[in-house]
Amino acid sequence: MKKKLQVLSISLALTSAASILHAEGNINAGKQKATSCAGCHGEDGNSMVATFPKLAHQHSSYLQQQLHAFKDGTRSDPMMSAIAMTLADEDIQDISAYYAAQKVSENSLPVSVADEDEKPAGTNDAVQSLITQGSNLYRNGNLQSAVSACIACHGPFGEGNKPASFPALKSQHADYLIKALTDFKSGARSNNPENIMHMIAKKMSDQEIKAVSYRISMMK
Ligand code: HEC
Ligand code: HEC
């Protein structure tokens, strides 16, 4: 109960901060401006490459935050940092509004290379069992290692929380989710002032990261 209240007070604090910071942009202008992003993120924000995140249906407040973070260097990536430098604040607002208005595509069941080697084609017991583990972690967290339940902030369907700028996760590529959680765990990604995700991911095992990423990638 005490934990739940703590999470709630963090959420409320972020809600008020985030809604002051982010203005909504122009979707049509954003569509034009996003043509330079399409090569990696897909024309409608549904990228084909699993390490390039899908941006479709993501909350505009979160997209704006991340683009500003790439631009000011608090989040860094060899591809994104240079690109974000070229964007004016208005471009960031418009592009974010455009992607937020798109529909996210569904993923097919993840196939891990190790599973492919071990099992004849068509069997996916190992993947299914990881998804079950991931589902449990997402809903309940891990009491023993004090990993918070993801559901508290990212919602029962992975829809996130727009006013608080908690990102939507549903139907994101599993490979990108694994990379993001591993970067939070190591501290390579820590642009959020409260460092919430680092505090959570550092307690997660690599197996838990994979399991929960597989689960989230299948949420619709
Ligand atoms: C050359 C490929 C490439 C291009 C072009 C590109 N991106 Fe990215 N983008 C990436 C990669 C790779 C990442 C993931 C970085 C990481 O792993 O932290 C990313 C991450 C992002 C994120 C963070 C998403 C999240 O869920 O946190 C946003 C927002 C974003 N890009 C917006 C854009 C916009 C807007 C443009 C065009 C102006 C653009 N990108 C062009 C490769 C690209
Ligand atoms: C207390 C709220 C909270 C909880 C609980 C929480 N998250 Fe997050 N999550 C956030 C916030 C805030 C961000 C944005 C971080 C940033 O801006 O750097 C985030 C970002 C993420 C991202 C990056 C998304 C992207 O598009 O790059 C992933 C993946 C993620 N969380 C997964 C999880 C998982 C898995 C769990 C459960 C084990 C979890 N989160 C629990 C608040 C939370």
* Res. 22 pLDDT band, cuts 50 70 90: low
List CB contacts of 120: < 8 A, sequence separation 6 or more. none
* Res. 32 pLDDT band, cuts 50 70 90: very high
* Res. 161 pLDDT band, cuts 50 70 90: very high
Rounded Cα–Cα distance for residues 45 and 103 (Å): 8
Rounded Cα–Cα distance for residues 127 and 186 (Å): 25
Q: Token pair 């690109």 is at which residue?
A: 83
pLDDT of 24 > 60? The answer is: yes
pLDDT of amino acid 124: 79
Rounded Cα–Cα distance for residues 133 and 211 (Å): 6
pLDDT of 10 > 80? The answer is: no
Rounded Cα–Cα distance for residues 148 and 177 (Å): 17
Closest CA to ligand 1's atom 26: 53
Chain mean pLDDT for the chain: 89
pLDDT of 115 > 50? The answer is: no
157-161 mean pLDDT: 97
Cβ(49)–Cβ(176) under 8 Å?
no
pLDDT of 159 > 60? The answer is: yes
Ligand 2 binding residues, C-beta < 6 A: 7, 10, 53, 65, 137, 147-148, 150, 152-154, 166-167, 169, 177, 180-181, 191-192, 196-197, 200, 212
